[in-house]
């Protein structure tokens, strides 16, 4: 049965909260996974994510033994964590060194990796990776272990969702800054076109935007060119 250290839980959440505003997503995940073993009393933990093509890749482990676990599974394409991802459900092994489901795994594992448990990390219900833990001795995983891991996988999911939202906000902020930076140039070009061709502001901007789209250019770049041509005509 899993017994959570309350002080470790508080420390973990504080680290995640601090990291969320000051570091990138990988660093946040490293901090989150780095306390799983202390928090739940396991020997080590790791995180694997799927790249394009649905292949799992190692991302974070707490120690060398954990790296051997993830590396062996990636090399063979099988193991409890790979199964947890493929089946989108928790998969456990009392002793992976002797588990008949993955007979080739033991040859590539550190001898200190015995019991293993993995749960899927999901986004929108679909698995995008796995949270994995191990014990250095054979261990009978029970429902409290599985539920605790699912709960922590939810924390990781929230980190991922927050990172995605931040990225979207960042992209929007860049677009807004771009609009502010080039607003004056675009407005001047609109004014020039209005005077030259006797257009309304709407007609001038619509024409400028259409020409930019047709030539696959940015409106601001085209506006700057229009102003440059206008300046040349007045010389």
Residue 107 is predicted with a pLDDT of 92
Other CB atoms within 10 A of residue 50 CB: 16
**Cα 113 from chain centroid (whole Å):** 27
Residue 10, pLDDT score = 44
SS3 59: strand
State the average pLDDT over residues 150-166: 82
8 Å CB contact between 157 and 123:
yes
pLDDT tens digits, 22-40:
456 777 778 778 778 778 8
The 10 Å Cβ neighbour count of residue 112 is 17
Question: What does the pLDDT read at residue 5?
Answer: 47
Specify which of 56-65, 101-110, 125-134 reaches the highest per-range mean pLDDT.
101-110
Phi-psi region of 41 (alpha: psi -120 to 50; beta: other; left: phi over 0): left
Q: What is the DSSP letter of 106?
A: G
Residue 27 is predicted with a pLDDT of 76
Checking if the pLDDT of 21 tops 60, the result is: no
pLDDT confidence of residue 91? 96
Helix (H) or strand (E) holding 197: helix 143-197
pLDDT tens readout for residues 77-103: 889 998 998 889 999 999 999 999 999
Note the pLDDT tens digit of each residue in 172-186.
566 656 656 677 788
Structure letter (DSSP) for residue 42 = -
| Structure confidence by residue, pLDDT tens digits, 47-63 | 888 765 456 776 788 88
Closest CA to 61 of 155, 159, 134, 165: 134
Q: Please give the structure tokens belonging to residue 162.
A: 């927050």
Kindly tell me if the per-residue pLDDT of 7 is higher than 70. Answer: no
Q: Give mean pLDDT, residues 187-207.
A: 88
d(CA 61, CA 113): 13
111 confidence band (pLDDT: 50, 70, 90): very high
Phi/psi for 92 (5° steps) reads -130, 155
pLDDT of 158 over the 60 cut:
yes
pLDDT tops 70 at residue 142: yes
């Amino acid at each position: 049965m899993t017994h959570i250290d309350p002080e470790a839980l508080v420390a973990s959440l504080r680290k995640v909260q601090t990291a969320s505003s000051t570091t990138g997503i990988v660093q946040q995940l490293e901090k989150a996974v780095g306390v799983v073993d202390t928090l739940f009393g396991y020997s080590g933990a790791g995180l694997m994510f799927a790249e394009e093509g649905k292949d799992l890749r190692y991302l974070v482990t707490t120690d060398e033994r954990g790296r051997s676990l993830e590396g062996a599974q990636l090399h063979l394409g099988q193991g409890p964590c790979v199964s947890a991802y493929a089946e989108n459900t928790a998969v456990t092994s009392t002793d992976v060194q002797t588990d008949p489901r993955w007979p080739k795994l033991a040859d590539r594992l550190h001898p200190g990796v015995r019991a293993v448990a993995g749960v899927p990390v999901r986004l929108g219900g679909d698995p995008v990776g796995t949270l994995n833990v191990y014990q250095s001795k054979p261990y009978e995983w029970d429902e409290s272990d599985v539920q605790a891991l699912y709960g922590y996988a939810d924390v990781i999911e929230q980190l991922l969702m927050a990172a995605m939202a931040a990225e979207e906000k960042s992209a929007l902020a860049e677009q807004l800054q771009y609009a502010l930076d080039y607003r004056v140039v675009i407005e001047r070009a609109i004014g020039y076109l209005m005077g030259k061709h006797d257009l309304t502001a709407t007609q001038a901007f619509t024409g400028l935007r259409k020409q930019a789209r047709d030539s696959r250019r940015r409106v601001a770049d085209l506006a700057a060119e229009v102003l440059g041509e206008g300046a040349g005509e007045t010389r």
